[in-house]
Chain A
């Protein structure tokens, strides 16, 4: 419930203040460059804390006897005002170490002026300042609610900074950027808001330095020389902001000294301060708010401010995208009313991807003329005609419900429904509580009277398409239907042939392809090719080698797709879809065993190529004949030093014919070491091979560790067909 409040307020505040936040971010970004530029100029001095004020004053007075005042700005530029021979007042920058003039004061660039006014008051004077102040206050609330949502998303504060797997979604970027820029953004918002509050409510004013009893003894007294004024001995140039010289050599004329945190009036007669006022706490807060908000005191902080402004623009855009994705995906276009539906699909989804699966499932039912209703888990109520409840839910936080499923378990208790159910959990084995919420839902449904399981509880790891298809096949069987799930709608990518090899003795060949999308591709992803001839989609596991896509294909004499590919020529292009396959990426495990037969080796060639040397990698590869290996030889040779062992099995040679599973049986210690050290075993190739290899691994585990393969199932990752 509370989470809903956070989420809604985060969105509402951002939508209301969005345009002003955008404006302030863009102008803020422009303004952040000013301190960086000013601090890098020759007029900016870095070691003013090493320069005695007295020395500097004498230098200046010697060069410019008519000096009226001296100023140090936040960029550590020292300027003086003096009267020239024509009695005109002149201001310019000086070098305090020599007293010499070094540059004229140029007017602040019109671009900065423009951005400042826009940033501060939108060219609307007080009204604009008020709006901007309000925007800053909104930003504070957005940051706070965002922080609450981050906590919710990751489960606890500690987990926020644990590594999150890259998935390229807006939600990924939104949370990544916000967790790292949370503190700078909060500082920007707080300081900006304080500056407005000070202007409208506090109106902090310095104490009046002139408010003191001036003793009117006008008896001629001697005026001290500059070097005899003791007060100046105590300061470094870095401590002062301004010094006004006495207007005349008379006892009732004083030096006015403005320090960073105090003001002094210094007598020319005694050389002592005759009055001093300190900065009030309100002014101090205002001063620090100003520094933190503008970054004027440090180029480094300005860069952080500039980056934060940029990030804020990005957060706004990604935030809107997340919101749009959520409403578009969750807007289930139900054709039949809720109480007429025979099949009810209930979805728990945080960022909307699970809804994509739900609607593909719903379409398959609709094609079979079934009455389907799709809703979020929180919309659970009694469905009068429901016979089947199909529940698809992801898991968030630390094994918790996604936002639109948070009330489901509560509702389930109070509603009595007679139906069959099936639960499919979406999650990721990167998180310790894999699909914990879906599992919990499954248990609760199991306890509920009137509800009966339709299929076994199943999971989909990292949106693995084949696990989803497997579950739908189970479902088809249980319902005695023929569900045809359409592949997800994706954009086609153009690929250009860079190299195509000849067929080897196994009829295998490799293709090297160039594409603009190469940066989004990782070895292990899938290439979905649909030849026009039959309109059926084929999936190939691909590798990324030298920034090109590498795939290996076996040409079947009757195979439409493989024949089509084998006839392509260099520099020809064709179109295909690239499908992310995060569950089959090379993770950060230290120990990895690659097991493949035939063309299944392709994704591993890329993984070996990109792997860091500290990984311990073993390869088990099944081929037909020693000559078959020629096709892949170069890829292995270039990475020879990285591969701990390369084990080849040949199935069609005169002597010693064997399959890859036989090699596994011969190396039990390699398998055991890998599994016990939290490594992973990756399989790619034929389904028959997968079955045999798993059988061998199971045997090894039973014999040596008195356990079985099910206890290590999360460490064995397959992509077999």
Chain B
């Protein structure tokens, strides 16, 4: 019996160690262009060196009924069904901006990985690579990342 309790506590301790925060928090500013229409759905994801999806970092837009409009990402998310808990926020409308916090693992930096900002607006358009940029240390120091679709620019800074 004692052994069992010891083992249990041991496992719990191990688990809590593995749960130690492996990511660093960043704040990310997204400034939208002055487009007309509904708020934009935005997905920020991490891509590997072959531009394959690795992980969903943040999703703007909470109504999953529209997620299939962000089609490339939805192909990935639909299969992998990773939980989006805690990494979603409201859509961002034309002309306005939002600040979100992003969890970025230091291991991802400088590995030829990329960040992708995918955007879609109801009845308007879908931009697969509104922004796609290599994830470097430089980029996380507040560089202005210009968007090509609904996004005007994005800036990321350490908290």
Q: Are A252 and B36 in contact (CB under 8 A)?
A: no
Q: Are B97 and A256 in contact (CB under 8 A)?
A: yes
A638-668 contacts to B, CB under 8 A, are: none
What is the size, in residues, of chain B's interface with A at 8 Å between Cβ atoms?
19
Interface of A is mostly: loop
Interchain pairs with CB closer than 8 A, number: 41
Q: Are A247 and B34 in contact (CB under 8 A)?
A: no
Q: Contact check: which of B31, B34, B99, B152 meets A89 at CB < 8 Å?
A: B99
Once A83-B99, A87-B25, A88-B101 are accepted as A-B contacts, the answer to whether A203 and B36 lie under 8 Å apart by CB is yes
Most chain B CB atoms below 10 A, which of A203, A208, A247: A247
Contacts of B89 in A (CB 8 A): 89
CA distance A318 to B157 in the complex (A): 65
CA distance A210 to B142 in the complex (A): 18
Contacts of B142 in A (CB 8 A): 247-248, 250
CA distance A68 to B96 in the complex (A): 13
Q: Contact check: which of A81, A210, A250 meets B99 at CB < 8 Å?
A: A81
Query: Is the CB of B145 closer than 8 A to any CB of chain A?
Result: no
Q: Are B99 and A247 in contact (CB under 8 A)?
A: yes
Contacts of A109 in B (CB 8 A): none
Interface of B is mostly: strand
Contacts of A87 in B (CB 8 A): 25, 27, 101, 159
Q: Are A205 and B101 in contact (CB under 8 A)?
A: no
Q: Are B34 and A206 in contact (CB under 8 A)?
A: yes
A214-241 contacts to B, CB under 8 A, are: none
In the complex, what residue of chain B is closest to A82 when comparing beta carbons?
Answer: B99
Contacts of A247 in B (CB 8 A): 27, 29, 99, 142, 155, 157
Query: Is the CB of B91 closer than 8 A to any CB of chain A?
Result: no
Q: Are B36 and A83 in contact (CB under 8 A)?
A: no
> Nearest-CB distance from A366 to chain B (Å)?
68
CA distance A203 to B33 in the complex (A): 16
Contacts of B99 in A (CB 8 A): 68, 81, 83, 89, 247
Contacts of A38 in B (CB 8 A): none
Contacts of B101 in A (CB 8 A): 83, 87-89
CA distance A244 to B142 in the complex (A): 17
CA distance A68 to B25 in the complex (A): 17
Contacts of A203 in B (CB 8 A): 36
CA distance A206 to B94 in the complex (A): 10
Contacts of A205 in B (CB 8 A): 34, 36
Q: Are A252 and B144 in contact (CB under 8 A)?
A: yes
In the complex, what residue of chain B is closest to A88 when comparing beta carbons?
Answer: B101
Once A83-B27, A89-B89, A256-B97 are accepted as A-B contacts, the answer to whether A210 and B36 lie under 8 Å apart by CB is no
- Chain B residues in contact with chain A, CB under 8 A? 25, 27, 29, 31, 33-34, 36, 89, 95, 97, 99-101, 142, 144, 152, 155, 157, 159
A sample of 8 inter-chain contacts (CB < 8 A) reads: A83-B27, A83-B101, A83-B159, A87-B25, A208-B34, A247-B27, A247-B155, A248-B142
